[in-house]
């Protein structure tokens, strides 16, 4: 029997008339241990049990969507020839040594040929829509930088460039052109798949939506993968994204202050900002993903610490309130991982971690979009573009960018000092909203190149109207001379920056200095951004330049070691190490600590460098009675006189902790009709009561009287 989910606030949904702002993905049918109680579930992959899996979740009240990989998947019938009588293993992505890059057994990463796309549309898209699913998620359009040597790719090269294939290790130009083609192939693949899905759906009277779950551009460039990324935000058939950011992506080490190490919170903050900015100018939708564990085998303590970091980072983007609350719940709830660092004891998820995680994920049903901004100087942004993925593999003489230091060299010196750095995509600068709130834009062409001249026209117009642009770069890397628009045709420029400078009345090869253009200013720094982070105490020039540009209208650039944000009753905080001080952040008030499974009420909060906080501000709570935080989802709440009751549903084999605001101290607390009151669980300061009981996906009825 279907169950109507309760909601905290209105939100547009991906289903006709339905509100969907939380979802998760699983290849499994419903079972009680993974019943997360999100709004929707993305059933993963087509196989013989597809329709049964869909039905099992629908019977439990879920809206059902579909997800599958577009660059890999269980498509063995295509590769072995069972589908059309021709084997297609030669369409796997291949390295220079001829080895195929595999995602799993008989699951190669795919060169998305026309033949493969026909298979994908006929066997995946059609069957899912025939099953009545109208929201389709085409996951991870990924082409490895080190690939590009298969016969299938060589043919695509000849068709695209009209010339014989060139191995990408031959020259920087061959590398750039190879990766540009990989980008094009998955752009084409998603364009065809989404267009077909929508047209096929219309033929059946269905409004089909198509989304792309994808890593951030920051992560793909670090992991040396090519994907269409920002260009999809304006593709007619794509309705939005899932931002696949989690511990595994964000813990990838980077350079700052001459030290190479993991900086999970800071990387996650930038990754989420990157994904939010891709869709903001176009109005497309984006869900943020976090994962309470990760693909790599770590220990439960490590998972918890990094989950706090990524979860806080996602909530520090106040314009986003749609979430994939977890991927693969079966591996989170049912698999064994080390109990702690160095431990040989393998256990399932600790009970307190499961409770805490479910408090956090259930809060995502209620956290609002907010017009508030993260504390700190607003309006500083870093420019990036899809070609950030084009200069990777192999390493060519004259160019190195260790762990994308050229990007982090522009962002981390500011972020680490408490400036909430934004991301601007060069593909979007033609949209009015893209640069609307940017005061100072920092950019380089050392690690990327502009894919068309129109972006320069937009940037020049922005500067002329009063924008402040800081260009960092020596412009001497070997990719400056690849065969592209800036050095072809009637207007030929030695470097792409020369074209941009010319539009602002600045000569080619502009020397270091400051230039006025209209109401705005261009600042040229003749250093590659990586030079600001690869050695200690090397970022002063960048900081001085940003500070001076920022102060041109009377504002001073504020440096600090923390971020804070208020979203309704929820308070977010993060304190950074390697910053301007080692002072903790102290907060006073009445708060529920949502990172503590006991949900304590605290009047003083201390957050130390390297830690984060997620708090419920009791001074902003609704009128009593109300469930303020719960490790199970709340349904059918009602008040009758001096009694308040509700039903909680959550995964089996987990414990629900719930903190309930009441008009006064309770005299009775019944769980499924059994009296459980304990006077010690009443908190006088917060006027709340803590209830604990075993979760049940079929529902636990709670009644409180006072």
DSSP 122-175: IIIIHHHHHTT--EEEEE---EETT---SHHHHHHHHHHHSS----TTS-HHHH
Q: What angle do CA 624, 5, 591 make, to 5 degrees?
A: 35
Residues 631 and 594: their CA atoms lie apart, in Å, by: 10
| C-beta separation of 646 from 634 below 8 A | yes
pLDDT at 1: 33
Encode pLDDT of 290-330 as tens digits. 999 999 999 999 999 999 999 999 999 999 999 999 999 99
Residues 323 and 306: their CA atoms lie apart, in Å, by: 18
Q: Is the pLDDT of residue 625 over 70?
A: yes
Encode pLDDT of 530-581 as tens digits. 999 999 999 999 999 999 999 998 999 999 999 999 999 999 999 999 999 9
The whole-number average pLDDT for the span 438-456 is: 97
| C-beta separation of 559 from 417 below 8 A | yes
Q: Which are the contacts of 479, defined by CB distance < 8 A and separation ≥ 6?
A: 172, 173, 175, 176, 390, 391, 399, 449
| C-beta separation of 29 from 52 below 8 A | yes
Identify the sign of the CA torsion 351, 54, 232, 158.
positive
What are the respective helix, strand and coil percentages of the chain, to the nearest 5?
30, 25, 45
Joined tokens for residue 253: 């080490």
Which has the closest alpha carbon to 615: 648, 586, 635, 644? 586
| C-beta separation of 238 from 283 below 8 A | no
DSSP state string for 523-538: EEE-S-GGGGTSSTT-
Strands (E), 422-478: 422-425, 440-443, 468-472
Joined tokens for residue 277: 């900015």
Encode pLDDT of 5-31 as tens digits. 343 533 333 343 456 899 999 999 999
Strands (E), 351-463: 380-384, 422-425, 440-443
Residues 20 and 10: their CA atoms lie apart, in Å, by: 10
Least confident stretch, 67-71, 392-396, 410-414, 654-658: 392-396
Joined tokens for residue 573: 């905080």
Q: What is the pTM of this model?
A: 0.96
Beta carbons within 10 angstroms of residue 367's beta carbon: 21
The whole-number average pLDDT for the span 358-383 is: 97
Whether a cis peptide bond, with omega within 30° of 0, leads into 625 is yes
SS3 (DSSP) at 556: coil
pLDDT band at 50 (very low <50, low <70, confident <90, very high): very high
The whole-number average pLDDT for the span 386-409 is: 95
Please report, rounded to a whole number, the percentage of residues in the chain having pLDDT higher than 70: 97
Beta carbons within 10 angstroms of residue 82's beta carbon: 10
Q: Which are the contacts of 170, defined by CB distance < 8 A and separation ≥ 6?
A: none
3-state secondary structure 100-120: ECEEECCEECECCCHHHHHHH
Beta carbons within 10 angstroms of residue 416's beta carbon: 22
Residues 201 and 689: their CA atoms lie apart, in Å, by: 50
């Amino acid at each position: 029997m279907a169950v109507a989910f309760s909601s905290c606030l209105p939100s547009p949904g991906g289903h006709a008339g339905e509100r969907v702002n939380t979802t998760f993905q699983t290849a499994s049918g419903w079972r009680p241990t993974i019943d997360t109680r999100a709004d929707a579930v993305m059933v993963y992959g087509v196989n013989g049990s597809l329709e049964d899996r869909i039905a099992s979740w629908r019977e439990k009240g879920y809206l059902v969507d579909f997800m599958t990989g577009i660059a890999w998947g269980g498509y063995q019938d295509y590769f072995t020839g069972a589908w059309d009588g021709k084997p297609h293993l030669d369409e796997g992505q291949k390295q220079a040594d001829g080895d195929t890059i595999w995602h799993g057994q008989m699951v190669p990463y795919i060169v998305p040929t026309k033949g493969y796309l026909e298979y994908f549309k006929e066997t995946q898209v059609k069957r899912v829509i025939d099953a009545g699913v109208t929201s389709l998620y085409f996951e991870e359009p990924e082409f490895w930088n080190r690939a590009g040597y298969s016969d299938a790719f060589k043919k695509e090269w000849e068709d695209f460039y009209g010339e014989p294939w060139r191995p990408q290790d031959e020259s920087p130009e061959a590398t750039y052109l190879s990766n540009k083609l990989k980008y094009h192939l998955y752009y084409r693949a998603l364009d065809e798949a989404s267009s077909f899905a929508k047209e096929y759906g219309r033929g059946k009277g269905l409004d089909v939506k198509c989304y792309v779950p994808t890593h951030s551009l920051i992560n793909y460039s670090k992991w040396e993968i090519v994907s269409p990324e920002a260009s999809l935000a304006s593709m007619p058939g794509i309705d939005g994204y899932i931002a696949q950011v989690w511990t595994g992506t964000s813990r990838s080490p980077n350079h700052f202050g001459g030290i190479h190490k993991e900086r999970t919170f800071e990387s996650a903050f930038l990754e989420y900002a990157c994904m939010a900015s891709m869709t903001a100018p176009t109005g497309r939708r984006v869900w943020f993903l976090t994962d309470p564990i990760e693909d790599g085998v770590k220990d439960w303590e490590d998972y918890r610490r990094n989950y706090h970091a990524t979860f806080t980072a996602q909530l520090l983007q106040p314009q986003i309130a749609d979430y994939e609350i977890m991927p693969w719940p079966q591996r989170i709830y049912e698999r064994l991982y080390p109990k702690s660092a160095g431990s040989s004891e393998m256990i399932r998820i600790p009970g307190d971690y499961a409770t805490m995680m479910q408090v956090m994920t259930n809060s995502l049903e209620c956290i609002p979009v907010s017009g508030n901004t993260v504390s700190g100087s607003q309006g500083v942004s870093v420019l990036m573009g899809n070609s950030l993925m084009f200069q990777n593999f192999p390493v060519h003489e004259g160019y190195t960018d260790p762990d994308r230091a050229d990007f982090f060299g522009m962002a981390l010196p500011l972020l680490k000092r408490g400036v909430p750095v934004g991301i601007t995509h060069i593909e979007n600068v033609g949209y009015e909203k893209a640069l609307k709130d940017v005061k100072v834009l920092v950019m380089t062409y050392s690690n990327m190149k502009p894919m068309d001249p129109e972006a320069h026209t937009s940037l020049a117009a922005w500067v002329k109207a009063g924008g402040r642009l800081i260009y960092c770069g020596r412009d001497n890397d070997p990719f400056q001379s690849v065969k592209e628009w800036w050095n072809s045709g009637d207007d030929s420029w030695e470097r792409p920056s020369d074209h941009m400078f010319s539009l602002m009345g600045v000569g080619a090869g502009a020397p270091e200095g400051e230039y006025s253009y209209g109401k705005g200013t261009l600042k040229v720094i003749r250093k590659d951004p990586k030079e600001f982070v690869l050695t200690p105490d090397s970022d002063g020039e960048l900081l001085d330049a940003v500070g001076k540009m920022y102060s041109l209208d009377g504002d001073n650039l504020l440096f600090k070691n923390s971020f804070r944000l208020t979203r309704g009753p929820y308070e977010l905080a993060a304190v950074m190490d390697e910053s301007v001080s080692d002072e903790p952040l102290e907060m006073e008030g009445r708060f529920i600590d949502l990172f503590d499974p006991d949900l304590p009420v605290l009047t003083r909060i201390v957050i130390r460098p390297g830690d984060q906080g997620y708090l419920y501000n009791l001074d902003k709570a609704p009128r009593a009675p109300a469930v303020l935080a719960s490790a199970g989802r709340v349904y059918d709440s009602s008040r009758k006189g001096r009694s308040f009751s509700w039903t909680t549903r959550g995964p089996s084999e987990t414990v629900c902790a719930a903190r309930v605001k009441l008009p006064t101290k309770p005299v009775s607390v019944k769980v499924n009709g059994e009296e459980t009151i304990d006077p010690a669980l009443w908190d006088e300061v917060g006027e709340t009561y803590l209830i604990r009981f075993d979760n049940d996906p079929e529902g636990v009825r709670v009644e409180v009287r006072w």
